[in-house]
């Protein structure tokens, strides 16, 4: 099956989602038992898979993932419960966005730091051009436990594929699991590079050399308008990631 296609069965989706959890852990973007990645179950607009509360990302396997509905009800016999904050955030996006096959939410260090900067993510690097003028911003409201926040989350992300959560982290939305992962991977790298560049500029008394807005917009279109033979993020990288997991986390598909 091409990774550009949606998995045809729940079993295939479970394996692909478990791989995504292991990759986030491998690249050091996880946060103990917190954070969540969800994926909509094929054949249903109302059910999705998510991690059981209490497991590290490096422990997630295909069979350990929980299936729940948009009300947070468990639809499987898997062990563990769902993190309420995970349900509140993910159910909101899955309900509102037909294209939200995968929703990935992280508290990674650099992205969380950038979320506290008034300017947010700047076009400092080519990695950041993926997201130029293509990020929603959601103000911090405390831990996401209140259902009333769902409408505001949905309004703030709009049709963007990335939502910067002020003082909290970020989330990505993908039409495939590989797409959601690659958006997160590049967002974290862009944030990390920005923080290093800002620190160096501050230390030297200099400033950042940013491209003209029209150049940043051109690059963003090149990354986000998937024309011709250009595939969605993850299309080419995902097979290599699976080869990596065979070496570092071979049990993810169990």
User: Looking at residue 74, what DSSP letter applies?
Assistant: B
What pLDDT was estimated at residue 230? Answer: 53
- From the centroid of its chain, how far is CA 244? 20
Above 50 in pLDDT, residue 139? Answer: yes
Pair of tokens at residue 29? 């973007």
Sorted by where each begins, the domain ranges of the chain are: 10-245
What pLDDT was estimated at residue 5? Answer: 54
Pair of tokens at residue 237? 């990288």
Indicate the pLDDT class of residue 115, thresholds 50, 70 and 90: very high
Distance CA 232, CA 235 (A): 6
Report how far apart, in Å, the C-alpha atoms of 82 and of each of 34, 74, 224 are: 11, 8, 33
- The pTM assigned to this predicted structure is 0.91
Give the count of alpha carbons within 13 A of 163, CB side only.
Answer: 25
- Bridge partners of 69, per DSSP, are 47
Beta strands in the chain (DSSP E): 36-40, 47-50, 66-69, 102-106, 136-138, 162-165, 169-174
The percentage of residues in the chain with a pLDDT greater than 70, rounded to a whole number, is 93
Distance CA 252, CA 58 (A): 8
Distance CA 192, CA 186 (A): 10
Most confident of 3-7, 27-31, 230-234: 27-31
Comparing 78-87, 98-107, 148-157, the range with the smallest average pLDDT is 78-87
Looking at the domain 10-245, which fold is it? Answer: L-fuculose-1-phosphate Aldolase (3.40.225)
């Amino acid at each position: 099956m091409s990774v550009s296609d949606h998995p045809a069965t729940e079993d295939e989706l479970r394996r692909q989602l478990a791989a995504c959890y292991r990759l986030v852990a491998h690249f050091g973007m996880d946060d103990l038992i917190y954070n969540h990645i969800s994926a909509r179950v094929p054949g249903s607009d109302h059910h999705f898979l998510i991690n059981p509360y209490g497991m590290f990302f490096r422990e997630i396997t295909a069979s350990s993932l929980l299936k729940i509905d948009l009300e947070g009800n468990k639809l499987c016999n898997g062990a563990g419960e769902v993190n309420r904050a995970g349900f509140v955030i993910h159910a909101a996006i899955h309900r509102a966005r037909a294209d939200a096959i995968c929703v990935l939410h992280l508290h990674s260090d650099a992205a969380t730091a950038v979320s506290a900067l008034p300017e947010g993510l700047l076009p400092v690097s080519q990695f950041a051009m993926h997201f130029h003028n293509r990020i929603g911003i959601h103000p911090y409201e405390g831990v996401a436990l209140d259902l009333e926040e769902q409408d505001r989350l949905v309004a703030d992300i709009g049709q963007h594929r990335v939502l910067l959560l002020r003082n909290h982290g970020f989330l990505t939305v993908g039409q495939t699991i590989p797409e959601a992962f690659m958006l997160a991977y590049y967002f974290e790298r862009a944030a990390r590079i920005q923080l290093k560049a800002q620190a160096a500029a501050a230390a030297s008394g200099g400033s950042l050399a940013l491209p003209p807005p029209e150049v940043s917009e051109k690059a963003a279109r090149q990354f986000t308008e998937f024309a011709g033979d250009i595939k969605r993020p993850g299309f080419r990288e995902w097979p290599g990631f699976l080869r990596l997991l065979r070496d570092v986390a071979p049990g993810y598909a169990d």
